[in-house]
Structure 1
Amino acid sequence: MLSKLEYRFGQVLRAVPIFCLSALFVLLFINVVARSFSLASFPWFDEVVQGLFAWMVFAGAAALWRDKDHFQVDWLSVALNPVGRRLLLILIALLSICFLMAMTWYGLSLTRSARAMTPILQLPTSLFYAAIPISGAIMLAYSLAELVCLVLPQKPQQELTT
C-alpha cells in the first residue's frame, strides 16, 4: 500500500515539471507568433515564465532525486570494494542531507519573508520561492530514507508460502 502511494507521488512529482515545460513551450510559441504578426503583447508573460521555470527546475530536481536519475560521476564507487562503496554512499548521503537541510531552511526563510508582489498579475513572489523549500524537503526525505537503507542491515525478503 505504501509503495503504491509512493509510486503515485512519484508520478505527480514528474508531472509538475512536464506540465511547466509544456506550458512554457505553449506560452513561448504564442508570444513569438503574436509578436511576429504584431497581434498582441502580453505584459504578464515574464511573470508567468519566471514562476513556471522556478517550479519546473525545483520539482524536476526533486523528481530526479527520487529516481536517482540526477547526474553523478560513479568512477570512484565502481572502483571501490563493497564496503568502501557503502561507506562512500553513506558519506554522500550525509553531505546531501546537510546541504538539503540548509537549502530547505533558507528557502523556507526566503519564502516566508517575501512580501513583494509581481507587477502585473499581483501574485505574491512567495509562490515562486515556495518551490525551493518544498523540493528541498522532498529531496531531504528521500536522502534520509536512503541513509537509513545504507546504515541498517537489509534483511532478505522471504516469500510467503501457503
Structure 2
Amino acid sequence: MTQATTSAGRAEARAARAGLVADRILEALAALSLAAIIVLLFANATLRFAADMPLPWVEEIVTGLMLWLTMFGFVLGLRRHESITVRAFVTRLPMNVQVALKLVTDVVTAAVLLHLAWFALRYVLDFGSDATPYLRLPRGFFTAALPVGAGAAALVVLLRLPSARATILRLREEEQP
C-alpha cells in the first residue's frame, strides 16, 4: 500500500466522519425545531380550550420554525440521497450516459439552488429587519432559513459531483430484485 492510497483513505474517513457530524447536527436542529413547534401548539391549544386565552404570538414562532424545519429536512434528505427520482427511462441507457445525465442534472440543480439562495439573501437583506407583529422580532431571523438552506443544499449537491458514477452503481444495485 502506498502512502498516497493511505492518505486518500484517511481523507475519505475524515470526510465520512464530517458528514456524519453534519447529519447529527441537522437531525438535532430539526428535532429541536419540531419539539418546539409541538410544545408551542399544544400549550396554545390547551390555553385556548382551558382558559379561552390563546397566545397570539405562537403563530409567528411556529411559522418561522416550520421554515427552518423544512430547510433542515431538505438538506438532510439531499445528504442521504433520499430525494425523489424517476429513473424508468434513464436506467435503460448506457452507464456513461447515465453518469453524464446525473452530472448535468446535479449541476442544474446546484445552479437553481444557488439562484434561490441569492434571491432569498437579497430578500432577507431588504426585508429582514422588519419586525414581526407581536414579538417584534426581526423577520430575517426566520427568513434566513431560505438562503442558508438553499446554499447548504447547493453545496451538498456540488460536493457529491465526483461520486456520480458510484451513485449510479448504487442505484442500480438497489433496483435489482
Q: Give the shorter-chain TM-score range.
A: 0.7 to 0.9
Query: Cα offset for 1:113?
Result: 1.2
Between structures 1 and 2, the one with greater helix share:
2
Q: Which residue pairs with 2:157 in the alignment? A: 143
Q: Which amino acid aligns with 1:2?
A: A
In 2, the alpha carbon distance for the partners of 1:146 and 1:76 equals: 22
1:8-157 pair list within 5 angstroms: 8-38=21-51, 40-114=53-127, 115-150=129-164
In 2, the alpha carbon distance for the partners of 1:147 and 1:78 equals: 19
Give aligned pairs, total: 151
SS at match of 1:123: coil
In 1, the alpha carbon distance for the partners of 2:92 and 2:28 equals: 36
In 1, the alpha carbon distance for the partners of 2:65 and 2:53 equals: 21
Report the more deviating stretch, 70-79 or 86-95: 70-79
CA RMSD of aligned residues (A): 1.6
Check the 8 A contact 1:16/1:60 in 2, yes or no: no
Q: Which amino acid aligns with 2:79?
A: R
Please report the TM-score for the alignment, with normalisation by the length of structure 2. Answer: 0.78
**Identical columns (%):** 24
Q: Which amino acid aligns with 1:149?
A: S
Please report the TM-score for the alignment, with normalisation by the length of structure 1. Answer: 0.85
